[in-house]
Amino acid sequence: MSRPYATDEQYERWFMAECCRCGRRRHKAGTWPDGYVCRTCSDRAVRTRGTCPGCGQDRALPGLHPVDGSAICTTCAGFSQTFDCSRCGFEGKLLGGRLCEHCTLTDSLTALLDDGTGRVRPELVPLATCW
């Protein structure tokens, strides 16, 4: 398997940047309206929830207000991407398949507690639904 870059300098240029939130040189997790953001700052930001001071909606607040730096929603911050789960619509941190943490855990538990028919074994249903 070949790597997508030829030199260490190319790797640095393509995959690393200074995070606009923490100022550390880290792997790029994405490009947000305020600049490149690292995975740590991205995860922290999309898990921040509350009432957006811009629109008054209760939702995830990953954006930063340009004037005072307060947390605002993706719409008010001008994000081109969304953080909505493709299954349940919950707005927050997304994992594989654009699924939220809850849907990903549900899939994992269903697979682990499967009775062979694609369903959770009846005696294990309380375990699968207790969280």
Strand, helix or coil for residue 68: coil
Q: How many residues does the chain have?
A: 131
Q: What is the pLDDT of residues 31-72, one digit of tens each?
A: 999 999 999 999 999 999 999 999 999 999 999 999 999 999
Residue 73 vs residues 13, 16, 56, 63, 129: alpha-carbon distances, Å: 30, 26, 9, 6, 31
Report the distance separating Cα 36 and Cα 28, nearest Å.
6
Q: What is the pLDDT of residues 66-109, one digit of tens each?
A: 999 999 999 999 999 999 999 999 999 999 899 999 999 989 98
Looking at residue 1, the DSSP 8-state letter turns out to be -
Task: Write out the two tokens for 113.
Answer: 């507690």
Residue 1 reports pLDDT greater than 70: no
